[in-house]
Amino acid sequence: MAYTNFTVETDADGIALVTWDMPGKSMNVFTAEVMDELNAILDATVADAAVKGVVFTSGKSSFSGGADLSMIKSMFSLYQDEKAKDPAATAQKLFNLVGRMTGLFRKLETCGKPWVSAINGTCMGGAFELSLACHGRVASNAKSVKIALPEVKVGLFPGAGGTQRVSRLADAQSALQMMTTGQSLTAARAKAMNLVHQVVEPDQLIPAAKQMIKDGLKPVAPWDEKGFKAPGGGIWTPAAAQLWPAAPAILRRETSGNYPAALAILKCVYEGLQVPFDTGLKIEQRYFTHVLQTTEAYSMIRSLFISMQELGKGARRPAGQPKTELKNVGVVGAGFMGASIAYVTAAAGIPVTLIDRDIEAATKGKGVGEGLVKDSISKGRMTQDEGAALLSRITPSADYSDLKDADLVIEAVFEDREVKKAVIEAVEAVLPPTAVFASNTSTLPITGLAKNSKRPADFIGVHFFSPVEKMMLTEVILGKETGDRAIAVALDYVAAIKKTPIVVNDTRGFFVNRCVFRYIHEAYDMLIEGVPAAMIENAAKMAGMPVGPLALNDEVAIDLSYKILKATVADLGEKAVDPRHMQLVTGLVEREGRLGRKNAKGFYEYPPKPAKKSLWPGLRELYPQKKADEVDVGVLKQRFLVTIALEAARTIEEGIVTDPREADVGSILGFGFAPYTGGALSYIDGMGVKTFVDLCEKLAAAYGPHFQPTALLKDMAAKGETFYGRFDPYRVEKAA
């Protein structure tokens, strides 16, 4: 029988090699068709007496990334479309749908013939759950191998037998850590956890897998053998008595109870280890069905899985523009930011010319890349040869004429209009007519900078976040005259360096910084009210933010906040800034000399390592302090999330952001807005716009007019609308 997604070849020893190689896709993914074909292959190999065993592998450079977007969407669509009609029947349908993959993998596991999974490259999610159902697992020792069950990062958990098999192969503590964090494992680490049987050279992967079958691999899972005991003895042991009371407390410390899927993992493992394996699978299926119905899962899947992939694949790219193959990129400004941009460009295989005022400064900038390469080599992420090849693609220079062949030039010089004006003029004097000029400015409007250009249609903003090599987001900012070709080139570049873009229209602070400074300014308000600094930081983290606002302000630099406040007053007048904020920041910078982490003095003290940072005791002297029991932590949490979400809503109302996917993805990737909400707009949609408006009005009455809901929000509340309904990002697709 011929298959679309698989080939099956049986050798002289009776071993069938099943190769998963989906046509037209860069990576194998699970779809309904893939599962149908896999089920047919399973039936055929069982029925064929000549087949003694099966080796399952991938025909691509990676094994599989797990489930396909369309399959995930279908589950949510089913629930969202039908739950109002008959909630119980819809839940039962969802339960049955969830159980399909579980049932297929269990059928494989009990088919009576040995299956061996030969793992190359990325093997994640459902693909690793399939491998766990195989009787043997062999992995390549190549650096590209990444084994993980990362579902918790998008609001779900391993629901096709993962919680039950991992906890019966590895010790419970390691199993819980792997699944509740979604961490990636190397092949060696997976073997150490007993999740993989052998690790071999890449060219030995299939031979080793076949040899396992030849050596008499039993077609029975350990938990199906009589007398099986989980590693460590299961739940009722002295060691377990220490682990299980602590596990929920540790999880709550790490997540503040914001992630239903993480808690469900604990429940699946704890309950599943006390019952027979098939009952454990039913427990897992029940919890997975429950988690699928939560707002958190729906919002996280939409933003962190579906929207991120759509944006990364060019959802906002103008139609009809040919793809740009970047052959040379120029970066002007070899400071830390520019040097880091040059590094990620070279890491993507693109030659880059790094320009500064003199060759010494440019060479020093390349040194930033050399440091990053050295660090990667020391951590085993890169070989010496790979590092040398990367650095060979960075050419330092002080001569603007070296940009004559550039397809794209990115300026990353000081945030000074005159300095940028000089750079724009110098670059355009040598830039080829087909090239695009991009500014990495974080504060200056692109339209204003483009006035210094003779080619405003080819002028755009590409705003990176620090540290560039780690932060996955870029803002692509459109000036009033930016043309489609410039947008396409910028998005092609962002795709080449493997970052996620959001496209925003021009405004002061663009999208991310506007939201970030609302977060920081709310902390200023709380300090001025006398809320203890430790409560401010802890409440923010309990709300789901990765870093407290005061710590974040130290990272971006308090004197930068000072400069931004002064620039805002200069441009917009004194009423544009809260005078209490100006007084607080002026005192910290001018009187106390506290600039942030960069001079080891900010809201925090930064003693020499290994000592940890701690809040500056002087904060208690700035304003009369409230007692802890006078402060409602729940309200603090609300204030942080609401003020950011309100700012995101304003950017939609002002036409700065036009696609809700970009506001959500940008808020999470840009500054870590409580990921369990799905992003700033999903936070509003998740509770309902009317509920959000009522909450805003309540906070405005108690804490100031900056919490007043906007006209758009009031209108949406009255009409019962959502952001994803009113600003449907798929409306063009549906109309077609």
- For residue range 651-681, list pLDDT tens digits in order: 999 999 999 999 999 999 999 999 999 999 9
pLDDT at residue 508, rounded to an integer: 80
Residue 521 bears catalytic tag: no
pLDDT at residue 734, rounded to an integer: 53
Burial 122-135 (b: 16+ CB within 10 A, else e): bbbbbbbbbbbbbb
Low-confidence ranges of the chain (pLDDT < 70): 69-70, 732-736
Q: Which two structure tokens, joined as six digits, stand for 260?
A: 């239903």
CB 497 within 8 A of CB 465: no
Phi, psi of 56, deg, nearest 5:
-110, 125
Extents of the domains making up the chain: 6-293, 329-509, 513-573+623-726
Q: Which two structure tokens, joined as six digits, stand for 571?
A: 């441009």
C-alpha torsion 718→724→727→728, nearest 10:
-130
pLDDT tens figures, 5-55: 999 999 999 999 999 999 999 899 999 999 999 999 999 999 999 999 999
pLDDT at residue 736, rounded to an integer: 43
- For the chain, percent of residues with pLDDT exceeding 70: 99
Architecture (CATH level 2) of domain 329-509:
3-Layer(aba) Sandwich (3.40)
Alpha-carbon distance of 109 to 159, in angstroms, equals 16
Q: Which two structure tokens, joined as six digits, stand for 15?
A: 């071993």
Q: Which two structure tokens, joined as six digits, stand for 84?
A: 């109002």
End-to-end C-alpha distance for the chain, whole angstroms: 37
Nearest to residue 472, comparing CAs of 675, 608, 281? 675
pLDDT at residue 1, rounded to an integer: 76
Query: 10 Å Cβ neighbour count for 244?
Result: 18
> Could you tell me which CATH number the domain at 513-573+623-726 has?
1.10.1040.50
Question: Which residue in this structure is represented by tokens 């491998």?
Answer: 131
Same fold, 6-293 and 329-509: no
Q: CATH topology for 6-293?
A: 2-enoyl-CoA Hydratase; Chain A, domain 1 (3.90.226)
CB 347 within 8 A of CB 497: yes
Nearest to residue 39, comparing CAs of 102, 98, 104? 104
Residue 301: DSSP 8-state: I
Query: 10 Å Cβ neighbour count for 374?
Result: 12
Q: What is the largest CA-CA distance in the chain?
A: 85
Mapped onto helix, strand or coil, the DSSP state of residue 704 is coil
Query: 10 Å Cβ neighbour count for 703?
Result: 17
Instruction: Give the helix/strand (H/E) hosting 6.
Output: strand 6-10
Alpha-carbon distance of 664 to 686, in angstroms, equals 12
Q: What angle do CA 452, 457, 463 make, to 5 degrees?
A: 75
Strand pairing report for 122-124 and 115-119: unpaired
CB 468 within 8 A of CB 372: no
Average per-residue pLDDT for the chain: 93
Alpha-carbon distance of 686 to 260, in angstroms, equals 15
Nearest to residue 529, comparing CAs of 602, 615, 633, 631? 631
Instruction: Give the helix/strand (H/E) hosting 621.
Output: helix 619-622
What beta strand segments (E) does 421-482 contain?
A: 436-439, 459-464, 473-478
Alpha-carbon Rg for the chain in angstroms: 28
Residue 395 burial (C-beta neighbours within 10 Å; 0-12, 13-18, 19+):
middle
Q: Which two structure tokens, joined as six digits, stand for 483?
A: 């043309």
Taking CA atoms, 468 is separated from 69, 336, 365, 496, 735, in Å, by 28, 9, 14, 14, 38
Which residues have CB under 8 Å from 294's CB, separation 6+? Answer: 155, 260
Mapped onto helix, strand or coil, the DSSP state of residue 303 is helix
Query: 10 Å Cβ neighbour count for 671?
Result: 23
Instruction: Give the helix/strand (H/E) hosting 501.
Output: strand 500-505
Question: Which residue in this structure is represented by tokens 């007993």?
Answer: 194
Identify the active-site residue in 463, 521, 581, 706: 463
Alpha-carbon distance of 486 to 506, in angstroms, equals 15
Alpha-carbon distance of 723 to 687, in angstroms, equals 12
